[in-house]
C-alpha cells in the first residue's frame, strides 16, 4: 500500500483553500468569508475518508470546482458555497434539509439541481438523456446550476488521466456531445475550447500530441511575427489616445484539428493559426464608434478580406457575444484574423453568462433591451414545456440549437427575428405562429416567390403565404432546422399517423380472420419480422398507408406453412424475434442481407460497423446493439460521439490482438498530376508489391489533375500505412488519404 503523508496533505488542502479565498476576495461582502469557511469545513469533514481514482483526497475536487467558478467563470459567494458542497448530499449522509438549515434555501436549490444531474454514466440511454433534460430544466430556474456543473465537468476532464480507457471515452464523448456546446451557448469560450481540446486528447491522442508539438515548434517564429505585425497598429492607437491591450494567441488544438479534417489539409496549410485581439477601454455609449475607428486604423496598414468581416457589435450573437472580426493580409503574405472589442465585450466573451449579469444593471439603467442570452433561456424553457417526445429526440433538437450561428431576418412590418443559421421560410413561419407554419405553402422573400425550403440569408424580409388546404407532411422535417418547427410538425404528423395506424391494424385483423389465423402478440411479432419493420406500429402504419399490400399477408401464411414442412421434427414456438428473423433470411435465400464473416469470427460473434470499416490496428470500441450482437466501431467513427455519450452503458472495451490473415475492406483517395501509365504504376504497387486484392477502382481526370478512389482488402493498419507510403512514392502522386 502507498504510504500517505497526512500532514503534507492537510497543508496542501489548506493551501488550495487559501488560494480560493484569495481569488474570491475582490467580490466578497461582509460575512461572506465566514460563510465560505463554514461550507469548506462541512465538505472537508464529510469527504475526509474519501479518495479520488488518482489516490488524492476527495476534497481537492470540490475545491478545484469552486476555484473554476471564481477564476474562470466569475461567480460569487453562493456559487462558491454550492460548489464546495455539491457532492455532500450525494456521497454522504447529509440531506437537503440539513443544507437548507445551515446554508439557506438558495444554496439548497442549487445543490438539489446539481444532485438531479448526477449518475449520468450509469444508466441506460434514455435515462442518460432524461438526466440531461432534468439538468436543462434547472437551467431555466437558476443558470448557476449549469455553470457549476460545467466547472465540475471541466475538473473531471482535467483529471481524466486516472480513469480506465472505456470510462475516458464515455466521459469525453458525453462532454463533447453536450457540455462543450452548452459552454459555447453560455458564452464561456475559454472553457468550451479547453473541453474540446481535452476531448481530442483522450479520443485521438496521436493527433492531439502532433498538433501540440507543431504549435510549440512554431511558437518563437509566431511570436516574432505577431510583434512585427502589431507594432504599427500600436503606435497609431497611442497617437489617437486609446487605452488598450493587444493579445496574440494561437487557435485551440481542436479548432486546428477541425480545419485540417474539414478541408483535408496538413497542419502547414491551416492559414489562420492564430488571432490578434485588440481590447480597448471605452465608455458604453462610445463603444461602437471606437471599435470602428480601431478597424479603420488596422485597415490603414493591412488590406482586409471583404468576405471575412463579421460585425457582432450591431447585432450580437444569441449568447451575448459582441466583437468585430476581420481577416487582413500581412506584409509577409499571411492572412491574420484581427478581433476588435472593448473591455466589457471581452469580459462577456471570456466569462459568458456571469459577466453578462454584471453588466445587465448598467444596460438596464441606460434603457437597453435584454440580451439574446435571456431570450434563449426563455426559448429553452418553452422548448422543455412543449416537449413530450422521447428524451433522446429532445436532446438532438436541443443540441441542434446550441451550436448554430444565427441569421437575422425581418417580418413585412420590419420586426427583427433571429433564427439559427440554415433556417428556411418554413422555420420562419413556425416562428411567427404554429397555425401559420402548419398552413404555409410558400413565401415571398424580398418580394420574390420562394418554396417553403428556401434558406434565409441575413437581412431578408419574409412574408408567409398560407392555404387552409395545406397540412404538414413527413418531408417537412427535412426542410426545417429549429426545434420549435420540428416539434410542431412531429405533433401534427403524430395525429395523422395515429389514425393511419388504427386503419392498418383493422385491415390486419380482418385479413387474419379471413385466413383463419389468430390475432395475438406472437403472430404480430412474426408479421413485423417477416415484413422487416422495426415495431408493430410501423407495420400497421405501412399497411394503413398501402406500402405493405394487405394481400401480401397471405404470403406470410404460405411462409409459415413452408416453415412447418421444413422443420417438422423440431416444431415448436420460435423463441424470440431474432431467431425468427434468421429463419426468414435462410428461407428467403442467400442474397437477402447476409453477412460474410471470416473463419474465426463466428466464435467471438461481432460485426464490423459499416459506418467506419475498422481494420486491425485501429483504436476501437465494442457497442452492444439490440438485434445484431456486438458491433465494432473506430473511436474516430462519425457516429462514435453519439453512441458513447447517449448509450454509454452499452459500450464495452475492444482491442485487436494478433490476427490471422483475414482481409478487411478499406478505402483510399488518391490525388495527383495525370500522366501516361500512372494507373498502371498504381495498380502495380497494389497488386504486385504488396499482394493486395482490389474490390474497385474509380478514376477521374480533369485538366491534367488525376483523382481516384480505390477500395481494397488489407490485413491491418500497418499493412494500410505501408501501402499509403508506397503509393505516395509513385511519380505524379501528390496525396493519398484513407476514407471511411
Tell me the three cell numbers of residue 127.
435515462
Tell me the three cell numbers of residue 273.
493559426
Whether the Cβ atoms of residue 732 and residue 673 lie closer than 8 Å to each other:
yes
From the candidates 91, 269, 388, 605, which is the catalytic residue?
Answer: 91
Q: Helix axis angle, 125-141 relative to 372-386, nearest 10°?
A: 130
Instruction: Single out the residue of 363, 314, 303 nearest to residue 338, CA to CA.
Output: 303
Instruction: Single out the residue of 676, 694, 696, 674 nearest to residue 685, CA to CA.
Output: 694
Q: Helix axis angle, 343-351 relative to 189-203, nearest 10°?
A: 40
Task: Confirm whether 91 is a catalytic residue.
Answer: yes
Residue 314 to residue 317: CA distance in whole angstroms: 10
Instruction: Single out the residue of 209, 199, 149 nearest to residue 170, CA to CA.
Output: 199
Which DSSP symbol is given to 596? P
Whether the Cβ atoms of residue 416 and residue 410 lie closer than 8 Å to each other:
yes
Whether the Cβ atoms of residue 77 and residue 29 lie closer than 8 Å to each other:
yes
Q: What's the Cα-to-Cα distance from 343 to each of 75, 668, 723, rounded to whole Å?
A: 18, 49, 54
Whether the Cβ atoms of residue 144 and residue 110 lie closer than 8 Å to each other:
yes
Residue 329 to residue 335: CA distance in whole angstroms: 5
Residue 696 to residue 628: CA distance in whole angstroms: 28
Whether the Cβ atoms of residue 284 and residue 368 lie closer than 8 Å to each other:
no
Compute the chain's Rg from CA coordinates: 30
Q: What's the Cα-to-Cα distance from 120 to each of 181, 286, 647, rounded to whole Å?
A: 17, 47, 10
Whether the Cβ atoms of residue 346 and residue 278 lie closer than 8 Å to each other:
no
Phi and psi (nearest 5°) for 315?
Answer: -130, 95
CB neighbours of 230 closer than 8 A, spacing ≥ 6? Answer: 246, 248, 276
Whether the Cβ atoms of residue 401 and residue 483 lie closer than 8 Å to each other:
yes
Whether the Cβ atoms of residue 298 and residue 253 lie closer than 8 Å to each other:
no
Cell 424553457 found at: 381
Residue 712 to residue 665: CA distance in whole angstroms: 6
From the candidates 5, 32, 72, 90, which is the catalytic residue?
Answer: 90
Residue 672: helix, strand or coil by DSSP? Answer: strand
The residues that are catalytic are: 90-91
Amino acid at each position: 500500500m502507498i504510504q500517505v503523508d497526512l500532514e503534507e496533505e492537510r497543508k496542501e488542502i489548506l493551501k488550495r483553500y487559501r488560494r480560493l479565498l484569495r481569488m474570491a476576495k475582490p467580490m466578497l461582502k461582509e460575512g461572506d468569508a465566514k460563510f465560505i469557511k463554514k461550507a469548506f469545513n462541512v465538505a472537508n469533514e464529510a469527504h475526509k475518508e474519501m479518495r479520488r481514482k488518482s489516490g488524492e483526497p476527495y476534497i481537492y475536487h470540490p475545491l478545484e470546482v469552486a476555484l473554476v467558478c471564481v477564476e474562470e467563470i466569475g461567480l460569487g459567494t453562493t456559487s462558491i458555497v454550492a460548489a464546495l458542497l455539491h457532492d455532500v448530499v450525494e456521497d454522504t449522509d447529509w440531506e437537503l434539509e440539513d443544507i437548507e438549515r445551515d446554508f439557506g434555501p438558495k444554496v439548497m436549490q442549487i445543490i438539489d439541481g446539481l444532485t438531479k444531474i448526477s449518475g449520468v454514466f450509469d444508466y441506460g440511454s434514455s435515462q442518460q438523456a432524461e438526466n440531461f433534460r432534468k439538468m436543462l430544466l434547472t437551467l431555466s430556474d437558476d443558470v448557476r446550476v449549469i455553470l457549476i456543473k460545467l466547472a465540475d465537468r471541466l475538473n473531471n476532464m482535467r483529471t481524466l488521466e486516472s480513469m480506465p480507457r472505456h470510462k475516458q471515452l464515455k466521459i469525453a464523448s458525453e462532454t463533447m456531445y453536450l457540455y462543450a456546446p452548452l459552454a459555447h451557448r453560455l458564452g464561456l469560450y475559454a472553457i468550451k475550447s479547453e473541453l474540446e481540446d481535452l476531448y481530442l486528447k483522450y479520443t485521438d491522442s496521436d493527433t492531439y500530441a502532433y498538433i501540440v508539438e507543431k504549435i510549440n515548434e512554431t511558437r518563437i517564429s509566431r511570436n516574432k511575427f505577431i510583434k512585427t505585425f502589431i507594432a504599427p497598429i500600436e503606435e497609431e492607437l497611442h497617437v489617437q489616445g486609446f487605452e488598450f491591450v493587444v493579445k496574440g494567441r494561437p487557435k485551440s488544438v481542436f479548432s486546428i484539428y477541425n480545419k485540417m479534417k474539414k478541408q483535408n489539409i496538413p497542419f502547414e496549410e491551416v492559414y489562420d493559426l492564430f488571432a490578434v485581439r485588440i481590447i480597448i477601454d471605452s465608455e458604453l455609449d462610445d463603444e461602437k464608434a471606437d471599435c470602428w475607428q480601431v478597424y479603420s486604423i488596422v485597415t490603414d496598414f493591412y488590406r482586409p478580406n471583404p468576405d471575412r468581416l463579421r460585425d457582432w457589435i450591431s447585432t450580437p450573437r444569441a449568447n451575448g457575444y459582441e466583437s468585430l472580426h476581420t481577416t487582413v493580409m500581412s506584409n509577409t503574405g499571411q492572412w491574420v484574423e484581427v478581433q476588435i472589442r472593448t473591455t466589457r465585450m471581452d469580459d462577456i466573451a471570456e466569462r459568458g453568462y456571469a459577466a453578462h449579469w454584471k453588466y445587465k444593471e448598467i444596460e438596464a439603467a441606460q434603457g437597453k433591451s435584454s440580451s439574446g442570452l435571456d431570450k434563449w433561456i426563455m426559448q429553452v424553457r418553452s422548448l422543455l414545456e412543449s416537449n413530450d417526445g422521447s428524451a433522446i429526440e429532445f436532446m438532438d433538437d436541443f443540441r441542434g440549437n446550441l451550436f448554430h450561428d444565427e441569421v437575422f431576418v425581418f417580418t413585412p412590418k420590419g420586426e427583427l427575428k433571429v433564427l439559427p443559421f440554415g433556417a428556411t421560410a418554413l422555420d420562419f413561419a413556425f416562428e411567427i405562429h404554429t397555425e401559420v407554419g402548419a398552413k404555409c405553402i410558400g413565401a415571398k422573400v424580398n418580394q420574390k416567390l420562394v418554396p417553403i425550403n428556401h434558406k434565409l440569408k441575413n437581412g431578408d424580409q419574409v412574408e408567409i403565404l398560407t392555404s387552409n388546404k395545406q397540412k404538414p407532411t413527413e418531408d417537412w422535417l427535412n426542410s426545417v432546422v429549429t426545434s420549435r418547427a420540428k416539434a410542431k410538425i412531429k405533433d401534427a404528423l403524430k395525429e395523422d399517423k395515429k389514425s393511419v395506424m388504427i386503419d392498418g391494424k383493422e385491415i390486419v385483423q380482418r385479413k387474419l380472420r379471413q385466413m383463419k389465423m389468430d390475432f395475438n402478440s406472437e403472430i404480430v411479432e412474426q408479421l413485423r419480422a417477416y415484413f422487416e419493420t422495426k415495431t408493430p406500429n410501423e407495420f400497421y402504419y405501412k399497411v394503413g398507408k398501402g406500402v405493405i399490400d394487405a394481400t401480401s399477408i397471405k404470403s406470410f401464411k404460405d411462409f409459415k406453412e413452408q416453415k412447418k414442412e421444413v422443420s417438422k421434427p423440431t416444431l415448436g414456438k420460435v423463441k424470440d424475434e431474432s431467431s425468427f428473423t434468421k429463419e426468414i433470411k435462410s428461407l428467403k435465400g442467400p442474397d437477402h442481407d447476409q453477412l460474410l464473416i471470416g473463419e474465426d469470427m463466428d466464435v467471438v460473434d461481432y460485426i464490423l460497423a459499416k459506418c467506419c470499416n475498422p481494420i486491425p490496428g485501429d483504436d476501437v470500441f465494442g457497442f452492444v446493439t439490440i438485434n445484431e450482437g456486438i458491433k465494432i466501431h473506430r473511436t474516430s467513427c462519425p457516429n462514435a460521439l453519439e453512441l458513447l455519450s447517449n448509450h454509454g452503458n452499452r459500450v464495452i472495451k475492444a482491442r485487436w490482438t494478433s490476427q490471422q490473415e483475414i482481409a478487411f475492406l478499406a478505402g483510399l483517395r488518391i490525388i495527383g498530376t495525370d500522366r501516361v501509365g500512372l494507373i498502371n504504376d498504381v495498380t502495380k504497387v497494389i497488386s504486385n508489391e504488396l499482394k493486395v486484392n482490389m474490390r474497385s477502382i474509380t478514376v477521374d481526370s480533369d485538366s491534367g489533375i488525376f483523382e481516384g478512389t480505390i477500395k481494397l482488402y488489407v490485413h491491418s493498419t500497418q499493412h494500410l500505412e505501408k501501402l499509403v507510403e508506397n503509393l505516395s512514392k509513385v511519380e505524379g502522386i501528390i496525396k493519398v488519404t484513407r476514407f471511411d
